[in-house]
Amino acid sequence: MLGRIVDQQLQTFVVEQGGLSNLLHRSARPGLSAGEIGIDIWGADEFGAQLGYRAVVRPGPGDQGLITEYLRSRSPERELEQVGPTTRESLVTAGVDHPVFPPEIRSAMTAVLTGCRVFHFHDTSSDAPVKRRTDEADNLSLAPDAANLAPLLARLQNEVPETYQRIVRTVRSVAPFFGSFVLKAESGRMRLRWQEEGLDGVFSADALSDGTLRFICLTTLLLQPDPPSTIVLDEPELGLHPFAIDLLGSLIRNAAVEDRKIIVATQSVTLLSHFRPEEIVVIERGEQGTSAQHLDVQDLDDWLADYSLGELWEKNVLGGRPRSSRTNPPAPI
């Protein structure tokens, strides 16, 4: 939702979700009514000053969303200041100047937020977007559902062949039978096809296993030359072989350079073991709602001398395990 707000596509997002009422919660967070959604983002400028952005989305006519934006700083006299009136789309990314939010700072913040997308490649059915014909001109960056995978690979093959070959080699490392992609347009449209090593025939994406197809999507996303500044991956380990999950962990770490953020929601013990304790946030639902807690690195030092993070998760040292929300759960039968 944050990415769509900054990209000035709030109304499109609301319609896709079935209206704003489908997104509202029955209870309220402190400072917000039950009929609105608040999103806060904090960052720092090059001098270390704490700067923030808040978007509050409220119901509008026809179950649309109306957005009020605020700029924040840690200065007591300028803690929260509204930017312009309530509108249907973002004003900050429309270029509205503000004394607390000069153009250079606004540019730095929107560079991080713009293009923020949640990527999930769960759909591998016969009618999945990644298997359909797509306009060959849709090739600038990978779509959240990988619908334009074939056109993007074709562009990389022509313009950045070293990146394309790296993608092919990475796919072969988990699917040794894979030969190459067959990327040819038909009347201006393109679909994903491939060849097996040592065979002359051409196969459609339907001939790939679900896990192999998902791994191809993930590899292309993380190795493309100009990925979004903020990438959110929703359970990327689904359907992958343990070896592929290991390799995915390395791809994520290599892609998370200084100016790019990658947020991964995972339930994979194998994937978790690829990251450091300070990079992990444990999500749990309690009586007061969902909480997000960073791990206490010092408390884990002795444990990590003998166990990986994944093993500690299995032992319930980290939390994040299923538990009853009832105060007095019924006795087992």
Q: Is residue 305 part of a domain?
A: yes
**Looking at residue 187, which CATH number applies to its domain?**
3.40.50
d(CA 236, CA 296): 25
In-domain check, residue 57: yes
Same domain flag for 135 and 16:
no
Say yes or no to pLDDT of 207 above 70.
yes
- Residue 304 pLDDT greater than 60, yes or no: yes
Confidence of residue 174 (pLDDT cuts 50, 70, 90): very high
Query: Could you read off the pLDDT of 24-64 as tens digits, one per residue?
Result: 865 545 556 668 888 887 766 555 566 778 889 999 998 99
> In this predicted structure, which of 67-81, 174-188, 240-254, 301-315 has the lowest mean pLDDT?
67-81
Residue among 149, 117, 126 nearest 216 (CA): 149
Residue range 156-161: mean pLDDT, rounded: 95
> So what's the pLDDT on residue 98?
60
Angle between helices 242-255 and 161-174 (to 10 degrees): 150
Mean pLDDT is lowest, of 92-101, 167-176, 230-239, 297-306, for: 92-101
Is residue 327 scored above 60 in pLDDT? no
Report yes or no on 319 lying in a domain: no
As a whole number, mean pLDDT of residues 92-98 equals 66
What is the distance between the alpha carbons of residues 151 and 136, in angstroms, rounded to a whole number?
5
Secondary structure of residue 263 in the 3-state scheme: strand
166 lies in a domain?
Answer: yes
DSSP code of 114?
Answer: T
pLDDT, position 333: 52
271 domain residue, yes or no: no
Share of the chain above pLDDT 70, in %: 82
249 plus 134 within the same structural domain? yes
pLDDT recorded at residue 12: 93
Query: Does one domain contain both 80 and 152?
Result: no
Residues 42 and 82 grouped into a single domain:
yes
Task: Answer yes or no: do 306 and 261 share one domain.
Answer: no
The total number of structural domains in the chain stands at 3
Same domain, 129 and 173: yes
- Give pTM, 2 decimals: 0.80
Torsions phi, psi for 325 (to 5 deg): -90, 0
State whether 256 and 147 are in the same domain. yes
Shared domain for 210 and 143, answered yes or no, is yes
233 in the same domain as 131: yes
Is there a single domain that holds both residue 234 and residue 133?
yes
User: Which of 65, 96, 127 lies at the terminal end of a domain, its last residue?
Assistant: 96
> Is residue 245 domain-shared with residue 169, that is, in the same domain?
yes
Whether residue 66 is found in the same domain as residue 163: no
Domain of residue 237: give its range: 118-265
Tokens of 42: 């904090």
Residue 282 located in a structural domain: yes
Establish if 328 belongs to a structural domain: no
